[in-house]
Structure 1
């Protein structure tokens, strides 16, 4: 069994702020990651993005060691709300085979567009799924762990949120998260 609360150290060269570049089939956006105010959540995300954190692939049931997010779909998109990703099965129920505790910081709120936050199924059920807000969503404060904010390419969130969807907010034409690159500015 994988301990979701154990996270590998973040070993990214440089001294600048930690960033994540999301390369999608519709364009690219860059987020600053709040490694000092949400250290466990950021370490989990970075570990999965780089393939340095152990996980179970929900499609195969077998241990995985490659970058978790590369090639998966934005499986839920809602205009004026958010876009969601992080489930390799694209069903909204898949995850990495572990859960970890919520991490809330009084300064990290869902105050506007571009907030990067963990999706969950209730308290302390974080795994791999995350969402990015298109606008303020204060009702999510202290329910979803904020761990970053998009600082470049914010307009891409609205473009993804407005692709045609089925009756369950799943894009009819797949929007692919091709890769996540972690770096320091």
Structure 2
């Protein structure tokens, strides 16, 4: 274990140069916003959660100013999700790589977990990876709708066990990131003894922190959803879920079934005609 963690320290250095419970809400806040996403394959109706207000208000704003009009579902992966909202996808020629377009800002993560999770039909915000986006801020415009797949109980149990096994390493990595300058100096000086000493210190801190955290378990609601309608449980608490499909999941399934190229872009464009607030 110690040897493996030392390797992590070295890799980190090398890679561097790389629910409101019990509160009374007013009637207006209780009412969830509904929108229609009209596409060339049919209409999808979604609701936005009030518990993710920044994502809700941003999506409404973009719908009202026609940001999504003419954009494509540019990334479609069967049994996973369909992604849209890239402004650069408007009138994009065949074969053009898409997915990097934005509106010049990001939105802070609004995880309401485990209340909202990646069940089939979840409306979630896309984002850049953890390497450049450690706070998991959402794209200002790109979103995806989960299609996922159905899991059995034993697979979910294995995922729980894996998450708990990875907890110590995750905490250790976070601590190591805070000591990058120190680690880099010791690496440069070939100070293996110093690296081992720091590793032991960080490992003790990580073990103490891990002991404070309860083991991970899926909630009964997650287990029911993931073993019946399906979803993408490995995305939970990593990407903001800010709404869900209430009508037109058959259209989402139709979109995920289209033929795609090597970049997961549909060979025949699936376009958003408009997004309308009801």
TM-score by length of 1: 0.79
Alignment of 1:34-183 (within 5 A): 34=49, 36-51=50-65, 67-90=66-89, 91-106=98-113, 107-111=115-119, 113-122=120-129, 123-135=136-148, 136-183=231-278
Deviation of residue 17 (structure 1)?
2.8
1:43 aligns to what SS in structure 2? helix
Per-residue CA deviations over 1:69-128 (Å, capped at 9, x if unaligned) read 0111110001111100000213100010111211100211002x2110000003114210
Q: In 2, are the aligned partners of 1:80 and 1:158 still within 8 Å (CA)?
A: no
Q: Please give the per-residue CA displacement for 1:116-171, whole angstroms capped at 9, x wherever unaligned.
A: 00000031142100000113111111111111110101111111011111111000
Structure 1 or 2: more helix by fraction: 2
Answer yes or no: is 1:26 the counterpart of 2:41. yes
Distance of 1:18 and 1:125 partners within structure 2: 20
Deviation at 1:16, TM superposition (A): 4.3
Q: Secondary structure at the match of 2:109?
A: coil
**Whose strand fraction is larger, Structure 1's or Structure 2's?**
1
List runs of 5+ in structure 1 lacking aligned partners. 1-12, 52-66
User: Greater Rg, structure 1 or structure 2?
Assistant: 2
Q: 1:4-63 CA distances to partner (integer Å, 9 max, x unpaired)? A: xxxxxxxxx9x84311101000000101111x2111111111111112xxxxxxxxxxxx
CA RMSD for the aligned pairs? 1.4
Tell me the number of residue pairs that the alignment of Structure 1 and Structure 2 aligns.
Answer: 153
Runs of 4+ in 1 over 3 A off after TM superposition: none
C-alpha distance in 2 between matches for 1:120 and 1:96: 13
Q: Using the alignment, how far apart are the partners of 1:24 and 1:144 within structure 2?
A: 24
- The match for 1:62 is none
